[in-house]
DNA sequence: TTAATATCTAAAGCTAACTTTAGATCAAGT
DNA sequence: ACTTGATCTAAAGTTAGCTTTAGATATTAA
């Protein structure tokens, strides 16, 4: 197989529409693989563009970089991901999307019920309590499952 | 009408399942109304419990406190919100939920298409580019519309 | 070869959303 | 009156996710 063409950090930045500093940051955080040129500059396989795109999409969905790193860990670091690699990842991701849709749908129904019923006691009905308190009880060692449970992991709480 | 019973900050904290420091923080940020006792302690109308619950739900959906403050600004500050007040707010909120569901549904379809077609060029297809770049072009003075456009406003970018 | 442009590192700075700390005052029960 | 627990303020600390800065090298184009 032909060796993969390597590109500069500026190239990745332009192609993904981001600042160079962000690409460098992701590289330092181990979210994207890179090697060094003889002079010390970073060199990336072209496939990193796709990886960065995925990161951006996942972030938009509410995933933290730590979560995304876990998701991406199923991709190979030493070789360019094949279609099968991405397909496997996308299956997992797809399940998460479906879970989010389901959660939003149920939130919508609850909200309509709560306002509609006249009780006005948002704090006591299923809306907030049942979903989130359960997630908060997790043992702590279940990253992806916790994602599915809490659905919108945007919380910055400790 | 009977004057609304006022409660302490600790009461609100316990009822909503949060730290006292958070309630104080929200009060300082103007997210929840409060008055002072003769001694200087904060006193809240009971209805603040519902308001806090709403804030937590909205945060879970990905809204920033600034966005939530805008959403809540339709509620009266000087009197306890009526069912009609909450119903109006929930209608707006509901539209946002629907928009998010639609965005996720389309993301799911795009992802399936992208992986399935074999092109593997996530960076060039509709997935990331069309949705987000458009949102990034907003003039800047359209808070709620921007929310609807970008769907998952979790971005911390400037 | 030389000037312009791109990268590099390390450290500091920034925003959001909170929590923690310290020292002081309030409120309640006995 | 006294002690205990709740609150108060102001300021500093924390985490995530970046950007900015400064000064030094690498790369590229002419």
- What is residue B134's predicted lDDT score, i.e. its pLDDT? 28
Which of B56, B87, B7 is CA-nearest to residue A132?
B56
- What is residue B80's predicted lDDT score, i.e. its pLDDT? 81
Which of A29, A69, A23, A84 is CA-nearest to residue A48?
A23
Joined tokens for residue A77:
């670091």
Between β-strands A6-7 and A42-45, what pairing exists: parallel, antiparallel or unpaired?
A: antiparallel
| A36: enclosing H helix or E strand | strand A35-36
Mean pLDDT estimate for chain B:
75
Q: Which of A4, A152, A155 to mutate to test the interface with B (most CBs of B within 10 A)?
A: A152
Inter-chain contact A100–B98, Cβ cutoff 8 Å? no
Inter-chain contact B122–A50, Cβ cutoff 8 Å? yes
CA A35 to chain centre: 24
Instruction: Choose the closest CB to B105 out of A101, A112, A132.
Output: A101
Bases of strand D lying below 7 A from some protein CB: 6-9, 15-21, 25-27
Q: What is the pTM assigned to this prediction?
A: 0.77
- What is residue A143's predicted lDDT score, i.e. its pLDDT? 24
**Which chain B positions have a beta carbon within 8 Å of A90's beta carbon?**
111-112, 114-115
Joined tokens for residue B36:
């002072």
Instruction: Choose the closest CB to B104 out of A97, A114, A132.
Output: A97
**Which chain B positions have a beta carbon within 8 Å of A87's beta carbon?**
115
Q: Which of B81, B89, B107 to mutate to test the interface with A (most CBs of A within 10 A)?
A: B107
From first to last of the 158 residues of chain A, give the pLDDT tens digit: 556 789 999 999 999 999 999 999 999 999 999 999 999 999 999 999 989 988 998 898 889 999 999 999 988 876 888 888 888 888 888 999 998 899 888 888 877 776 655 454 554 554 444 333 323 332 222 222 233 333 333 333 33
Which of B41, B55, B49 is CA-nearest to residue B8?
B41
CATH 1.10.1660.10 at B6-116, yes or no: yes
Q: Among all residues of chain A, which has the CA nearest to that of B95? A: A108
pLDDT tens figures, B28-61: 999 999 999 999 999 999 999 989 988 998 888 8
The residue extents of the domains of chain A are 6-116
């Amino acid at each position: 197989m032909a060796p993969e063409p390597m590109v500069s950090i500026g190239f990745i930045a332009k192609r993904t529409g981001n600042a160079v500093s962000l690409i460098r940051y992701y590289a330092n955080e181990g979210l994207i693989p890179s090697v060094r040129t003889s002079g010390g500059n970073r060199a990336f396989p072209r496939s990193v563009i796709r990886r960065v795109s995925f990161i951006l999409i996942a972030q938009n969905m509410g995933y933290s970089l730590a979560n995304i790193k876990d998701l991406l860990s199923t991709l190979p670091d030493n070789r360019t991901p094949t279609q099968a690699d991405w397909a496997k990842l996308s299956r997992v991701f797809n399940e998460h999307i479906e879970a989010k849709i389901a959660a939003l749908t149920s939130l919508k129904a609850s909200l309509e019920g709560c306002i509609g019923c006249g009780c006005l006691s948002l704090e006591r009905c299923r809306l907030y309590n049942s979903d989130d308190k359960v997630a908060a009880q997790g043992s702590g060692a279940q990253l992806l499952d916790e994602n599915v449970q809490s659905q919108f992991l945007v919380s910055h709480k400790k």
